[in-house]
Amino acid sequence: MAAATCVVAACTAGSAAPSFPATHQRLIFIAEAAFGTSVYVMDADTGGRHELVLPSLGVNAGVASSADGTQLAYTNTTLSLLLDELPPRVRRRHPGLPPSQLGFGTFTPRSAAGGSLFLYFVGSSQIPAYGRPAWSPDGRELAFAGGHKGQLDIYLLRPGRRARPINLTPNSPGNDQDPSWSPDGQTIAFASNRGGDSDIYLMTPDGGDVHDVTDDRARERYPDWAPSGSSLVFTSNRSGNNELYSSARDGTDVHQLTNDAADNQHPVWSPDGNWIAFSSNRDDERDLYLIGARGGTERQLTSTATDEIVQDWQPLQDTILPRVTALPSHALRGHPIYLRYRIRENSHRVQLSATITSPHGEIGLGFTPFLHRLPNHTYALRVDDDSLYDEPLPNRASFCISASDPSGNTNRRCSTIRLFRP
């Protein structure tokens, strides 16, 4: 079966994808078990979940989605066990890979309701990375805790082939970790024990204007911003065990949200600002829970034998279907086949697949990467016809083009292709 490759008839790079109102939301969490760590997405309303297609990440790993829901970043603490499985060219390009590493890539769900996600590009920071990374609101940069335990710093990375991390906290003693980017992109919250106890600090994305907003003797970790940018939620043991607290961004107006004997940690705010998801071991294993943004009624989301740790609450920004038109096409036998189509998609980015009907049924032609496609342009998928079939196609065959946008919305249209003898 041949993979379809795109031949551009008139291709101009599209502009960056616009922002859309969030209408669907999904939790991202990791499940740690003796046999490995898996990553899942969950519909917080229905409880439906899907495992992401990623290698086992190991314990103390982390995952984050970009604000537009099209990019993934994760830390992998078991990569050293996988080095022998990497292609030789990758091992030569990245000698001495650290045992804990940052990966990033582009992904899309199969459907807007929440499907499997496929990572098709992975890069590395070349610096050991720990815990949950954080995307900037525009999806251009990543903040993550890197270095070695006992001396972690907050790094900034612009993903790409030649990416080089920038240390934002080079002179800080101890551990700086758990970065969280404010919705306006102007501030990074993080946890640091530079003063002895772990507090929540704020700084600008260039590492400046650092100040402590929870200056006390308790241990605070895992800050996360409200969508409004006016509040933070974090974990603190100021009452004895780990509970959830919220505060204004300057550390005032503190509210205790949870109150029980368990460890309640890893809070993330819902995209609409109404809920906070968190992990708690009140049933021995850590499960997922919801609580209102000001406390109150709680709801348990999972009850399993694995440790489930909240990572992110991902908005699905776009639920508009791509408009694909399959156009009548023709080709000479023994020559490449070109399946013509047009696309209208508000993000200008689509992943394409195609099928063509043979005497023995429908043949799948594989998937393209995400491609920029503009309206009012005619494009074509090129397929080597010699690899399609054991018997010749009929003189007139049907084909179908499917287009998926970065939020997983998919549309499919069909037409016909005529084959002529040269």
N-to-C CA span, the chain = 24
Can you give the pLDDT at residue 368?
Answer: 84
Class of domain 24-316: mainly beta
Strand extents, DSSP E, 136-203:
142-148, 151-157, 166-167, 176-181, 188-192, 199-203
**C-alpha dihedral (12, 17, 20, 22), degrees to nearest 10:** 140
Q: Give 5-14+319-420's CATH code, choosing from 2.30.42.10, 1.50.40.10, 3.40.720.10, 2.60.40.2550.
A: 2.60.40.2550
Residue 82 phi/psi, 5° resolution?
-105, 0
Residue type, 249: R
Round to whole Å and give the CA distance between 143 and 119: 20
Which three-class secondary structure state does DSSP give residue 340? strand
How many residues make up the chain in this entry? 422
Round to whole Å and give the CA distance between 264 and 246: 13
Q: Please give the C-alpha separations between residue 53 and each of 92, 107, 115, in angstroms, as whole numbers.
A: 25, 10, 11
Please state whether beta strands 329-332 and 410-420 pair in parallel, antiparallel, or not at all (unpaired). Answer: parallel
Strand extents, DSSP E, 34-184:
36-42, 49-51, 62-65, 71-76, 101-106, 129-135, 142-148, 151-157, 166-167, 176-181
The set of residues, in sequence order, having a beta carbon less than 8 Å from that of 84 and lying 6+ positions away, is: none
Can you give the pLDDT at residue 70?
Answer: 72
Which three-class secondary structure state does DSSP give residue 169? coil
The domains of the chain are located at: 5-14+319-420, 24-316
pLDDT along the chain (422 residues), means of 10: 30 27 67 81 78 72 82 72 51 52 68 44 66 91 88 89 84 93 96 94 96 93 96 95 95 94 94 92 91 90 92 77 94 89 90 86 80 93 66 87 82 94 84
